[in-house]
Structure 1
Amino acid sequence: MLNMTRHEKEKYFLSATGEKQIFPSLQDPFSVELSVVVPAYNEELRLDGTSSLNFFVLSQKKTPSFTYEVIVIDDGSKDKTTQVAMQYTRKYGADKVRVLTLVKNRGKGGAVRMGTLSSRGRLILMADADGATKFCDIEKVETALNEINSKPENMAISCGSRAHLEKESVAQRSLFRTFLMLGFHFLVWFFCVRGIKDTQCGFKLFTREAAVKTFSCLHVERWAFDVELLYIAQCFKIPIAEVAVNWTEIEGSKLVPFWSWLQMGRDLVFIRLRYLTGAWKLKAAVKTD
């Protein structure tokens, strides 16, 4: 069984007519081509008619044979994120858009994990609610995924990357924040993940099998969860691609506060130590078919 604790209310989503329906499991066989997992915390204002989520759903109408779902995970928001997200369910139907409302705030990693473990897709894309990376870039990451996919295991991960924009962003960032960023990159390289320049971009594509193997082992639920995911993948020798994607600074996007940088640094050390000491263990993959 996948290691996950759910509140009873988190086991269900509401249909367009308000009926309770149970979420599937990542252990089930896939039933759509793509699941888009969108964590959202206090995103009432973003999830409106002009959001990137709306653009994605509308763009897929051009290819009606393509099956997909969008799962919006309300990570214990204090605003009307769930109510606004439910407007998409009523507009497009629960087969296309589902809302998973968490009883309490878990953190971005916890929200992504809950959404992924509730998904139906052959491929699973995690994407931020602010639309800083456009959904059209999925073609880039999917092409890279297919190039490294290890058949018949069907294990691969493709990560969007902003590393090509680093020089520009450093020029616009304060000296202190640049120091924090470089320190974080060093800790990532030293303790956990090598060969990936941008571990934190919120645009990652997984095969279903790779998602089962990595998310079933995930422990970190806040900012550093991406690093643990990639650490797990490298331990299992799952192929990982890194692809440059278009990225736009979105006004009002949540920046990582100073104390979160410290927490992330602490988490990186703990990730390494807990796996080395056996406090955390890597589990065998769970079959999805």
Structure 2
Amino acid sequence: MKISVIMPVYNGEKFIVTNVTKVRELLESYQGVNLITDFEIVVVDDGSKDNTLRLIKESFSQDKRIVIVQNIINQGKGFALKNGFFSSSGDIVVLIDSDLDIPPEQIKNLITEYKKGYDIVISSKFEKGSELKYPILRRIISFIYYITIKILFGLPIRDTQTGLKLFKREVLELCLSRMVVKRFAFDLELLLIAHRYNFTIKTVPVKINYHSSGFVSPSVLLMSFIDTISIFYRAKILQFYDRPITIPKSYPYKFFILSEQKLIGINTNDKDVNEISDDEFVIIKNYKINKNLDLGVLASIIESYKIGVINGSISYSENDIMSYISSNIIFSHLLMPLYNIAVRVVNTRLIPMPISDFLCVDGKTFKYLLSEKVNLSDIKDITLKLKKKYNFFVFSSDWSTISNEKLELVEDYFLRLSLLIRTGNISGLVFRGVLFFSLWFTLALSIATNNIWLALPYISFYLLYLIFKLILSGLKGLVLLPFFLIFSLIIGLIGTLSPIFYLLYKGDN
């Protein structure tokens, strides 16, 4: 039995080498007594800004048992764990925080319980026998979160957040294809999905020796709350996690990467572009292939939903203030309906959008693109052509890629609005339009009648937005506010009138 231990780290130069060495020595001792037959440690650097990555490479690059994974920008613990899993090969997978506040010697307890026949073994602060050197503030937050989870989800698990868990590999292969959350409530979503699919879960006591003060920033608390409510919406309103999914064995689909005019086989032989079969798949445009990720999760989604086009999400590095403003306006949940939660759910109303450097199409679709003489190096040209043929895309966060392109605030924003209108996907646009038009109307009416109370909804809404951004981004939120005001006025006018614009466009075509 091979075990993979995944250790995500962010700015951990002070401890990462010592802690990885400690875990390696521990696993060597387990191997010596035949508790495991083989092991690997997957260290995932989540966009650290210090010397973490350099130290890891200097210390462990010669050890084949240490797998080093890098996220170019920080994307959160959940994404790091997911990325680490897709770079692993163990029969069982252990997730552990790299600061080792939870002593790794407890991995043995998880393996022992796993061998009794459980699919998942997790440590829990609420189990009898737990020893907690844990700040009182953390205890209060943990208890409040437990009560919240119990009320919202009714999970038979008292502690979803403790950072030491063991999974059978097949559990993660299935569950991660359903995952949306990348950051704060990753553990909750993962265990909720596992529970929905009737995997057996065992909880064991834990020893925690917490090293920091226990302070939790308001932004982390806020985003954790938002992630939790989003999971509740998907679980209880959309029933997203209840939809059937199949994990095909032995990867029944053949995958290729498009390279110039050649199809490079990932799990098959290379081909010329004209030799593609309808039931084969081509991955187009700037993507570093991870075979475990693409062939496992891609195949499971294709098999489950019988689809031919898969689009992925994208991350932009916010290197300067204009990049920060553009990213926060174009990808705002409030200002752009594309990024509300419905976008991540498979249905026939999703819009093909040029917003990702990752695109996978079946052979039939690829032949169509060739017949249309599409520029296969231009993702916008590809997706606009596909709009003629398809009314849907699958937009999944499992393939988050990093773009080096610079966002053009006005051009990109209006491109997305125009595609919404032209495809008739305007329900979210109308809702936002009416909301913002009403707010600006109350402000205008307040000025016209010299009645400050009429402007109260307007003032309250934008004040709450400003507080929200200040919590998340600090003083940069102040810079963002005037741009948000301008674009909210634009969305108010265009959104309210979008049904008329759509009817005019439909009449002309």
Return the TM-score normalized by structure 2.
0.44
Relative distance call for 1:37 and 1:219 in structure 2 (3 A) is same
Q: Choose which of 90, 107, 114 in structure 2 pairs with 1:121.
A: 90
Partners of 2:43 and 2:109 in 1: CA distance: 23
Give the drift of 1:235. 0.7
Larger RCO, structures 1/2 (Cα 8 Å, 6+ apart): 1
CA-atom RMSD, angstroms?
2.5
Relative distance call for 1:273 and 1:140 in structure 2 (3 A) is same
Partners of 2:72 and 2:24 in 1: CA distance: 27
Query: Identity over the aligned pairs, expressed in percent?
Result: 25
Partners of 2:244 and 2:216 in 1: CA distance: 31
Checking the alignment, whether the CA contact within 8 Å between 1:161 and 1:197 is kept in structure 2 is: yes
AA at the equivalent of 2:65? K
- What pairs up with 1:128-167 in 2 under 5 angstroms? 128-149=97-118, 156-164=119-127
Checking the alignment, whether the CA contact within 8 Å between 1:191 and 1:268 is kept in structure 2 is: no
- The runs of 5 or more residues in structure 2 that have no matched partner are 251-509
* 1:80 aligned residue: 51
Checking the alignment, whether the CA contact within 8 Å between 2:181 and 2:189 is kept in structure 1 is: yes
Partners of 1:220 and 1:89 in 2: CA distance: 30
Q: Which has the higher helix share?
A: 2
Checking the alignment, whether the CA contact within 8 Å between 2:132 and 2:209 is kept in structure 1 is: no
* 1:242 aligned residue: 203
Relative distance call for 1:231 and 1:203 in structure 2 (3 A) is same
2:238 counterpart of 1:271: no
AA at the equivalent of 1:78? K
Q: Choose which of 6, 12, 19 in structure 2 pairs with 1:52.
A: 19
AA at the equivalent of 2:153? C
Checking the alignment, whether the CA contact within 8 Å between 1:33 and 1:122 is kept in structure 2 is: yes
Deviations 1:69-115 (A, max 9, x none): 11111111111111111133235x1x200111101111011110111
Give the drift of 1:250. 2.0
Checking the alignment, whether the CA contact within 8 Å between 2:4 and 2:92 is kept in structure 1 is: yes
Partners of 1:61 and 1:101 in 2: CA distance: 25
* 2:346 aligned residue: none
Partners of 1:283 and 1:82 in 2: CA distance: 39
* 2:468 aligned residue: none
Partners of 1:287 and 1:134 in 2: CA distance: 37
Partners of 2:244 and 2:84 in 1: CA distance: 20
Relative distance call for 1:287 and 1:57 in structure 2 (3 A) is farther
Checking the alignment, whether the CA contact within 8 Å between 1:37 and 1:115 is kept in structure 2 is: yes
2:176 counterpart of 1:209: no
Partners of 1:45 and 1:167 in 2: CA distance: 26
Relative distance call for 1:229 and 1:60 in structure 2 (3 A) is closer
Which structure has the bigger radius of gyration? 2
Partners of 2:131 and 2:93 in 1: CA distance: 30
Return the TM-score normalized by structure 1.
0.76
Task: Indicate the larger mover: 51-60 or 213-222.
Answer: 51-60
Checking the alignment, whether the CA contact within 8 Å between 1:212 and 1:285 is kept in structure 2 is: no
Give the drift of 1:163. 2.0
Checking the alignment, whether the CA contact within 8 Å between 1:192 and 1:228 is kept in structure 2 is: no
AA at the equivalent of 2:72? V
Task: Indicate the larger mover: 191-200 or 119-128.
Answer: 191-200
Relative distance call for 1:269 and 1:224 in structure 2 (3 A) is same
Deviations 1:25-75 (A, max 9, x none): xxxxxxx70111111011111113xx2321121233443673111111111
* 2:378 aligned residue: none
AA at the equivalent of 2:24? V
Deviations 1:223-264 (A, max 9, x none): 211000011011111111111122211247x85322211221
- The runs of 5 or more residues in structure 1 that have no matched partner are 1-31, 150-155
Give the drift of 1:182. 3.3
* 1:98 aligned residue: 67
Checking the alignment, whether the CA contact within 8 Å between 1:209 and 1:288 is kept in structure 2 is: no
Partners of 2:77 and 2:163 in 1: CA distance: 10
Checking the alignment, whether the CA contact within 8 Å between 2:131 and 2:207 is kept in structure 1 is: no
Partners of 1:166 and 1:262 in 2: CA distance: 28
Deviations 1:140-161 (A, max 9, x none): 1122222243xxxxxx111012
